[in-house]
A and B are shown apart, each in its own frame.
Chain A
Amino acid sequence: MTQDTASVSVRDLHLAFGAVEVLKGLNVETAPGEFLVLLGPSGCGKSTLLNCIAGLLEITDGQIWIKGKNVTWEEPKDRGIGMVFQSYALYPQMSVRGNLAFGLKNQRMPKAQIEERIARAARILQIEDYLDRKPAALSGGQRQRVAIGRALVRDVDVFLFDEPLSNLDAKLRAELRVELKRLHAQLENTMIYVTHDQIEALTLADRIAVMRGGVIQQLDTPLTIYNRPANLFVAGFIGSPAMSMLSGRVEGGRFHVGTQSLDLGGYDGEVPARLDPAILGLRPEHVEIVEGQGGPGGLLATVDIDEPMGADSLLWLDVEGQKMSARIPVERSLRRGTEVRVVPVMDKASLFDAESEQRI
Chain B
Amino acid sequence: MPSVTDTPSGPRTRTARPSQLFRNLNAKLASIPMILTAMGVFVGGTIWTVVYSFTDSKLLPRERWIGFDQYERLWGTNRWLISIENLLIYGSLSLIFSLVIGFLLAALLDQKIRFEDAFRTIFLYPFALSFIVTGLVWQWLLNPDFGVQSVIRALGWESFDFDPLYNPQIVIYGVLIAGLWQGTGLIMCLMLAGLRGIDEDIWKASRIDGIPMWKTYLFIVIPMMRPVFVTTLVLITSGIVKLYDLIVAQTGGGPGIASEVPAKYVYDLMFQAQNLGQGFAASTMMLLTVAIILIPWAYLEFGGKRRG
Physical contact A–B (CB less than 8 Å): yes
The listed residue (A1, A3, A60, A68) touching B14 by CB distance below 8 A is A60
Question: Chain B residue with minimal CB distance to A2?
Answer: B3
Among A69-77, A190-198, A268-276, the stretch that binds chain B is A69-77
A220 at the interface (CB under 8 A from B): no
Proximity bits, B1-28, A CB within 8 Å = 1, else 0: 1110111001111100110000000000
Task: Given A63-B10, A63-B11, verify A69-B5 contact (CB < 8 Å).
Answer: yes
Task: Given A73-B17, A73-B18, verify A68-B11 contact (CB < 8 Å).
Answer: no
A182 to B18, CA, bound (A): 41
Contact between chains at B1 and A68 (CB < 8 Å): yes
The listed residue (B3, B6, B17) touching A3 by CB distance below 8 A is B3
A155 at the interface (CB under 8 A from B): no
Task: Given A70-B6, A70-B7, verify A4-B1 contact (CB < 8 Å).
Answer: yes
A3 to B5, CA, bound (A): 11
A69 to B11, CA, bound (A): 12
Of residues 123 to 169 in A, which have CB atoms within 8 Å of B's CB atoms? none
The listed residue (A61, A62, A70) touching B5 by CB distance below 8 A is A70
A67 to B3, CA, bound (A): 8
Of residues 34 to 66 in A, which have CB atoms within 8 Å of B's CB atoms? 60-63
The residues of B that contact A67 with a CB separation of less than 8 Å are 1
Task: Given A60-B14, A61-B13, verify A68-B6 contact (CB < 8 Å).
Answer: no
Q: Measured between C-beta atoms, what is the minimum distance from A37 to chain B in Å?
A: 26
Contact between chains at B10 and A68 (CB < 8 Å): no
A308 to B167, CA, bound (A): 88
**Chain A interface, number of residues (Cβ within 8 angstroms):** 13
A3 to B10, CA, bound (A): 12
Contact between chains at A1 and B10 (CB < 8 Å): no
The residues of A that contact B11 with a CB separation of less than 8 Å are 63, 70, 72-73
Question: Chain B residue with minimal CB distance to A12?
Answer: B12
Contact between chains at B3 and A72 (CB < 8 Å): no
Q: Measured between C-beta atoms, what is the minimum distance from B1 to chain A in Å?
A: 5
The residues of A that contact B6 with a CB separation of less than 8 Å are 70
Question: Chain A residue with minimal CB distance to B23?
Answer: A58
Q: Measured between C-beta atoms, what is the minimum distance from B62 to chain A in Å?
A: 47
Contact between chains at B3 and A4 (CB < 8 Å): yes
Q: Measured between C-beta atoms, what is the minimum distance from B19 to chain A in Å?
A: 11
Contact between chains at B17 and A1 (CB < 8 Å): no
Interface centre among B3, B14, B18 (most CB of A within 10 A): B3
Interface centre among B5, B7, B17 (most CB of A within 10 A): B5
A1 to B4, CA, bound (A): 12
The residues of A that contact B17 with a CB separation of less than 8 Å are 73
Of residues 1 to 38 in A, which have CB atoms within 8 Å of B's CB atoms? 1, 3-4
A61 to B14, CA, bound (A): 7
The residues of A that contact B3 with a CB separation of less than 8 Å are 1, 3-4, 68-69
A61 to B2, CA, bound (A): 25
The residues of B that contact A60 with a CB separation of less than 8 Å are 14
The residues of A that contact B13 with a CB separation of less than 8 Å are 61
Interface centre among A1, A63, A67, A70 (most CB of B within 10 A): A70
The residues of A that contact B14 with a CB separation of less than 8 Å are 60-61
Q: Measured between C-beta atoms, what is the minimum distance from A1 to chain B in Å?
A: 6
Of residues 8 to 53 in B, which have CB atoms within 8 Å of A's CB atoms? 10-14, 17-18
Contact between chains at B10 and A70 (CB < 8 Å): yes
Q: Measured between C-beta atoms, what is the minimum distance from A65 to chain B in Å?
A: 8
Question: Chain A residue with minimal CB distance to B6?
Answer: A70
Question: Chain B residue with minimal CB distance to A60?
Answer: B14
A243 to B111, CA, bound (A): 57
A67 to B4, CA, bound (A): 11
The residues of B that contact A61 with a CB separation of less than 8 Å are 12-14
A73 to B18, CA, bound (A): 8
The residues of A that contact B10 with a CB separation of less than 8 Å are 63, 70, 72
A325 to B12, CA, bound (A): 49
Q: Measured between C-beta atoms, what is the minimum distance from A289 to chain B in Å?
A: 48
Those 10 A-B pairs whose CB atoms lie nearest each other, nearest first: A70-B5, A68-B3, A72-B11, A70-B10, A4-B1, A68-B1, A63-B10, A3-B3, A4-B3, A69-B5
For this complex, 19 residue pairs linking A to B, each with C-beta atoms less than 8 Å apart, are A1-B3, A3-B3, A4-B1, A61-B13, A61-B14, A63-B10, A63-B11, A63-B12, A67-B1, A68-B2, A68-B3, A69-B5, A70-B6, A70-B10, A70-B11, A72-B11, A73-B11, A73-B17, A73-B18
